[in-house]
Amino acid sequence: MKLRSNFFLGDSLIILVSLIFIIFAFKTFWHFETGSVVQVNFQGKIYGNFSLFQDKKISLVGKEGSSMIEIKDGRARIKTAPCKNQYCVQQGWINFTGQILICIPNEVSIEILGKTKAYDSLNY
């Protein structure tokens, strides 16, 4: 009898931990709209994935000069870019899954990732 109850304690702990993990995972990843991670692409490669829930500045020095990416309050933007037209800077902050900012001259793009992508590629 004693053995059985010990077993039950261990098992229920695992069940409990699993449940907490699942709830945590759902809360973290199950976003239909706002994303939690920004993927930075630089010179054709993935430079890195960064959580949106941090204050961070990433400086990338490319062919044209330095691009500055800023992450703050669950959003990301291209703060400064070395190009003339500044489209990427003017578009401002992004935080929804699938949103993307592209700076072609300096080969930088940032994209908000979510659990599921709404589409495979973007027509623009």
Partner 1 sequence: MRFIKFFFIVLGFSFLQSCSNPSLYQSKHYVFGTIVDISIYGEDEKKAEDATKAVLQEFTRLHNSLHAWEKSDLTNLNESISKNKSYKNASLELIEIIKNARELEIASNHLFNPAIGELIDYWGFHQEEFNPMHPNQSKIKNLVERGPSLDQLHITGTTIKSSNPHVKIDLGGYAKGYALDRASKILHKHHIKSALINIGGNIIAIGQHGNKPWRVGIQDPRGAQAIAKVDLLDGWAIGTSGDYQRYFMNDGKRYCHLINPLTGYPVQGVYSATVLIEPSQNAGTLSDVLSKPLFISKKEDRKDMAKKLQIYHYLIIEDKHISMTKTMADKIQFLNPHTKKNNQIEITL
20, 21, 28, 66: which one contacts partner 1 (CB under 8 A)? 21
Q: What are residue 63's phi and psi, to 5 degrees?
A: -65, -35
14 binds partner 1 (CB under 8 A): yes
Contacts of 31 (CB under 8 A, 6+ apart): 97, 114, 115
How many of the other CB atoms lie within 10 Å of CB of 35?
23
Contacts of 100 (CB under 8 A, 6+ apart): 94, 109, 110, 111, 112, 122
Least distance between partner 1 and beta carbon 93 (Å): 9
20, 23, 25, 61: which one contacts partner 1 (CB under 8 A)? 25
23, 38, 41, 60: which one contacts partner 1 (CB under 8 A)? 41
34, 36, 80, 91: which one contacts partner 1 (CB under 8 A)? 91
- Binding part of the chain for partner 1, among 7-15, 51-59, 66-74 by CB under 8 A, reads 7-15
23 binds partner 1 (CB under 8 A): no
105 binds partner 1 (CB under 8 A): yes
Structure tokens at 105: 């001259």
